[in-house]
Amino acid sequence: MAEVRFEHICKTYSSGDRPAVDDFSLTVRDGEFLVLVGPSGCGKSTSLRMVAGLETPSAGRIFIGDKEVTSLPPKERDIAMVFQNYALYPHMTVKENLSFALKLRGYPKAEIARRVEAAAATLGLEEYLGRLPKALSGGQRQRVALGRAIVREPAVFLFDEPLSNLDAKMRVEMRAEIIRLHHRLKATMIYVTHDQTEAMTMGERIVVMDHGRIQQVAPPMELYDRPANPFVASFIGTPPMNLIPEGGKLLGIRPEHARLVPGATYTVDFVEPLGPETLVHLAPGGVIVRVPGFAGCRPGDKTGVEFDDKHTVYFEG
């Protein structure tokens, strides 16, 4: 295990283009589970690939532990990476997939067997060791990809949107699997996702990125309760925070901190009944109100809105 340190990292693909990653400075603590989140094209995967050695920074330095790895090839960085598409060898069994990288590095057979057995036990893969990937479900394949990373016993685990190809139920299960894995291994893990629900439920700290730059680094609830700017406020939270111009400032209010009251300030645009709660979308302005249970209103109804000042976030205009 080791910390990972980025020092003023920039990545530009062509002269004159906007940097894909711009002045990225960050320390990932030893044993930390850190999540990079942001919209497509924000630079999160590029940042991860530069740690892995799959991309070379245009400027800046990267350290793993006390060792600068900025220009080192991937095999010399003591990292293991899990990809979105599993990247398994289709002609190899689960056991062969797990052991392949160790065989290439010349590990003794007894050590390979020990590591494969331990990884299979950790991930519940013992009964699948003789199967080919085509005989596995998507979740089982992703567990094999995780196992292939575990057997390496690396200093740092890197995850590049590993759950994007799974259905909703399987994503929830695999999120829990990865969290349990982190608790068990106490390893340094950097996880990239565009899904802010994944980020909020998995990360000890979250790095929110936009246009190649870090917007805020904080634990999940600090991001939610005290966003640093309107981008973070609107990106973190489902549904997003209501951002309303007010007296030369921007008034930010979470949908659960607003309530419907009699009046005719807004018109109900549409309603999303979600079982334990209802999201009521209002026009004009697109204000969203989160109502416990069933809201009892329909499109076209007139209503007012009352905001809870204790939970209001103001941004300077």
List every span in the chain annotated with CATH 3.40.50.300: 4-230
**pLDDT at site 202:** 95
Per-residue confidence band for 107, with pLDDT thresholds at 50, 70 and 90 = very high
- Residue 209: pLDDT band (50, 70, 90) is very high
Where does the chain show beta strands of DSSP type E? 4-11, 21-28, 33-37, 59-64, 67-68, 79-82, 156-160, 188-193, 205-210, 213-218, 242-246, 249-253, 258-273, 277-283, 288-292, 302-307, 313-315
Task: Report, as an integer, the average pLDDT of 62-79.
Answer: 94
Per-residue model confidence as pLDDT tens digits over 121-161: 988 899 999 999 999 988 899 889 989 999 988 999 999 99
pLDDT at res. 17: 83
Report pLDDT for 257: 93
Give percent of the chain with pLDDT exceeding 90. Answer: 71
Q: How far apart are alpha carbons 153 and 1 in whole angstroms?
A: 9
> What pLDDT score was predicted for residue 86?
80
Residues of the chain with CATH 2.40.50.140: 240-315
Which pLDDT score is estimated for 87?
Answer: 83
Q: Assess whether pLDDT exceeds 90 at residue 171.
A: no
The per-residue pLDDT for 317 is 61
What DSSP assignment string belongs to 196-263?
A: HHHHHHH-SEEEEEETTEEEEEE-HHHHHHS-SSHHHHHHSSSSPPEEEEETTEEEEE-GGGEEEEEE
Say how far apart CA 264 and CA 152 lie, in whole Å.
63
Q: What is the pTM of this model?
A: 0.90
Architecture of the 240-315 domain: Beta Barrel (2.40)
Q: What is the mean pLDDT of the chain?
A: 92
Closest C-alpha among 279, 199, 284, 298 to residue 239: 279
DSSP 50: H
Residues 141, 149: Cα–Cα separation, whole Å: 13
- Tell whether domain 4-230 is in CATH 3.40.50.720: no
